[in-house]
Chains A and B, each alone.
Chain A
Amino acid sequence: MAGGIKKFVVGSFDDEAVLFPAVKNVRRAGYKIHDVYTPFPIHGLDHAMGIRETSIHTAGFIYAITGTTTALAFITWVFTKDWPLNIGGKPHFALPAWIPITFELTVLFSAIGMVLTFCYLCNLAPFVKKHHFHLRATDDLFVMAIECTDRTNETELESFLQNAGAKEVNIQIAETGWWIGRYDREQKLYSDEAGY
């Protein structure tokens, strides 16, 4: 649920062409990027940050074959074991006639399963609240949050980000993870005094 309170140095960029080299330089300098928040998907940023490929499509495939087997097994059971119904003298095991429903359930299982997995992995649900490092991260800024450790020199890191082209740099103490809350209220898991 919540990852506790941590300290971040946050740099906001207004151009993805500046962001890319900045991400590379920050990583080369040995800082740990907590995350980069962007208003739209930027192709290649995940690789630049060293994030591994998602395997959500594999999950989708597993849900899909679950749907296929569920449909086929269920209809077979109903029409050959549970209640064999004579429909126009045709075979009880009428596989071609079951293809449409099998296909639909394949798609249905896969789609629902993938969306639920996506929401689960990304911690997305109604009334979920998270810390937002910059409100314009969903508008026009690319916001890089770098996690501070005991050895991090914050002033040095701030000037490092400024040199890398950040338009705004600040230090934030933030709760990681998520909690139940509403966006019209000030709600936090821990009080501000805790820790730092």
Chain B
Amino acid sequence: MSLLKYESQQREPLVDGDKDYHQVTEDIIGPIEMKPSRLWYIGFFISIGLLLFGVYSIYREVTYGIGQWNLNKTIGWGWDITNFVWWVGIGHAGTLISAILLLFRQGWRTGVNRAAEAMTIFAVMCAGQFPIWHMGRVWMAFFVLPYANSRGPLWVNFNSPLLWDVFAISTYFTVSLLFWYSGLLPDFATVRDRAKTKLRKMLYGVAAFGWTGSTKHWQRHESLSLVLAGLSTPLVLSVHTIVSFDFATSIVPGWHTTIFPPYFVAGAIFSGFAMVQTLLIVVRKVMNLKDYITLGHIEAMNKVIVLTGSIVGCAYLTELFIAWYGQNPYEWYAFSQNRANIFSPYGWSYWLMMFCNVVSPQLFWSRKLRRNITVTFFMSIIVNIGMWYERFVIIVTSVYRDYLPSSWSTYYSPSIYEIGFYLGTFGLFFTCFFLFAKYFPVIALAEIKSILKTTGENYKAKMTDIEKMDAEKFYIEEVEHAHGTAPAHAH
């Protein structure tokens, strides 16, 4: 069995330190059972404060209308849709890590998938706010649902990318949530069975759904996870593809390009991994999980960042080239004047995007920088700023100068409530994340245990001896067999 489960010594351990199964439980469940630190309270209440400001901004917007935002006829999609696409993009890393990397049998995903999936769910929750409140008359939001309404029944337009988006985002949210929660059940059971207080026994008992760890249940659980991963893989790719259709199927110069789906998906993974880095670097430090989220994990994610960042860079250059090569004067104007001309009103945002997304991630070709925590943290912020600007560039620079120069709107800047709404989603995101980090097992406990004996540091050391012994034995037997000196195998 040791050979079947053997993992190459070339790979660095995924779990550092001298651990056994119980120690893993202690390390990961321990923080849940302690009182929250002062730092946690400070962070939590700052998040609540931001959330409340967001609620107030939405209150203003709902009461007085979309006029509370500085949108106008020309720029109908400004910060709001920029934020929507940004958050949805961030919400792509979690399911990518848990689904695609599961199918590719990437062992390192076990250390980070739980937190990344949580981040996905919270990010999609934030993203969903923007199109909903952008409707203005939000009490009409149910109009997007296909039901036999009293207006005919007049159905929704199934041919519209905006409706596809409704289906894509809600499916993505639901499936991610189911995937996440089914993985959480066994870990909640661990918390429940260790619980000392009555309240904790009850709450985690309810949350664990009566999980026992039966072999048959594990067998079904494994099968369920695998199929959900298989379903989520095309789902992840479909969601941002459909978001890109919101733009690509229109005939607005700058949006009407066939490169959008792969370009958006790569960008989404890029920004999602950057956000995972931002969060996990803090989590591993504060919760002392350095043995589980190792430098190897951070390096692996940085490799994804440099890959997807370069794909995004290729896409930027391709669309610029095609805009010129396509000989459509409007398309070329959008690219050469609205974006690439640094002296145009929003030219600065294009070059900021170029710098943050294309130039700066190239640092990660260096192994030394990939494994540097400070550089990684700093870069993860830079990438997320860059990716926000990417969406801003796509949306605002494509629409602010339309076909009628008299309606050009150069001086769009967000109102305080537009910014407040954005900050409010940060509040929502971090409130959820703080609660998650305190009350949920932030690392997939059962999954870490299942890879512990093949990839744990202390177990890998022992494996070298087994490997050597078996190889020598194997070699001797082979030699003897070849020369026929001894009956190596009794027949």
A and B bind: yes
- Closest CB of chain A to B266's CB: distance in Å? 19
CA A139 to CA B441, docked complex, whole Å? 13
The 20 sampled A-B contact pairs (Cβ below 8 Å) are A35-B212, A39-B21, A39-B213, A40-B186, A40-B445, A42-B215, A42-B218, A56-B224, A83-B153, A94-B159, A100-B168, A100-B242, A101-B167, A103-B234, A114-B224, A126-B207, A135-B193, A136-B193, A139-B193, A183-B201
For window 122-157 of chain A, which residues contact chain B by CB distance below 8 Å? 122-130, 132, 135-140, 143
Shortest Cβ-Cβ A-B pairs, 7 listed: A183-B205, A140-B21, A128-B210, A124-B209, A184-B202, A40-B446, A184-B201
Which residues of B lie under 8 Å from residue A103 when comparing CB positions?
234, 238
Is B487 interfacial (CB 8 A cutoff)? no
CA A111 to CA B233, docked complex, whole Å? 12
Q: Is the CB of A126 within 8 A of B206?
A: yes
Is B447 interfacial (CB 8 A cutoff)? yes
From B182, B210, B218, A115 is in contact (CB under 8 Å) with B182
> Which of chain B's residues has its CB closest to A44's CB?
B1
CA A63 to CA B226, docked complex, whole Å? 16
Is A78 interfacial (CB 8 A cutoff)? yes
Q: Is the CB of B201 within 8 A of A138?
A: no
Binding site for A on B (CB under 8 A): 1, 20-22, 25, 146, 152-155, 157-159, 161, 163-164, 167-168, 171, 174-175, 178-179, 182, 185-186, 189-190, 192-195, 198-199, 201-202, 204-207, 209-224, 226-228, 231-232, 234-235, 238, 242, 245, 445-447, 449-450, 453
Q: Is the CB of B167 within 8 A of A124?
A: no
Is A51 interfacial (CB 8 A cutoff)? yes
Q: Is the CB of A78 within 8 A of B146?
A: yes
User: Given A104-B171, A128-B209, A41–B219 Cβ distance below 8 Å?
Assistant: yes
For window 51-105 of chain A, which residues contact chain B by CB distance below 8 Å? 51, 53-54, 56-57, 60, 64, 74-75, 78-79, 82-83, 85, 87, 90, 94, 97-98, 100-101, 103-105
Which residues of A lie under 8 Å from residue B175 when comparing CB positions?
107-108, 111
Other A-B contacts than A53-B219, A128-B209, 5 sampled, CB-CB below 8 A, are A46-B216, A57-B226, A118-B220, A118-B224, A183-B206
From B205, B206, B450, A40 is in contact (CB under 8 Å) with B450
Is A182 interfacial (CB 8 A cutoff)? yes
Q: Is the CB of A100 within 8 A of B238?
A: yes
Q: Is the CB of B164 within 8 A of A101?
A: yes
Which residues of B lie under 8 Å from residue A100 when comparing CB positions?
161, 164, 167-168, 238, 242, 245
Which residues of B lie under 8 Å from residue A98 when comparing CB positions?
158-159
Which residues of A lie under 8 Å from residue B198 when comparing CB positions?
184
From A17, A122, A139, B22 is in contact (CB under 8 Å) with A139
CA A1 to CA B146, docked complex, whole Å? 38
Binding site for B on A (CB under 8 A): 16-17, 20, 35-42, 45-46, 49, 51, 53-54, 56-57, 60, 64, 74-75, 78-79, 82-83, 85, 87, 90, 94, 97-98, 100-101, 103-105, 107-108, 110-112, 114-115, 118-119, 121-130, 132, 135-140, 143, 178, 182-184
Q: Is the CB of B213 within 8 A of A108?
A: no
From A82, A112, A139, B174 is in contact (CB under 8 Å) with A112
CA A139 to CA B242, docked complex, whole Å? 43
- Closest CB of chain B to A110's CB: distance in Å? 6
Q: Is the CB of B206 within 8 A of A127?
A: yes
CA A85 to CA B152, docked complex, whole Å? 12
Q: Is the CB of B446 within 8 A of A83?
A: no
CA A105 to CA B202, docked complex, whole Å? 36
User: Given A39-B446, A111-B178, A75–B158 Cβ distance below 8 Å?
Assistant: yes
Q: Is the CB of A118 within 8 A of B190?
A: no
Q: Is the CB of A132 within 8 A of B193?
A: yes
Which residues of B lie under 8 Å from residue A101 when comparing CB positions?
158, 163-164, 167
From B186, B209, B222, B245, A138 is in contact (CB under 8 Å) with B186
User: Given A105-B167, A138-B189, A125–B209 Cβ distance below 8 Å?
Assistant: yes
Q: Is the CB of A17 within 8 A of B1?
A: yes
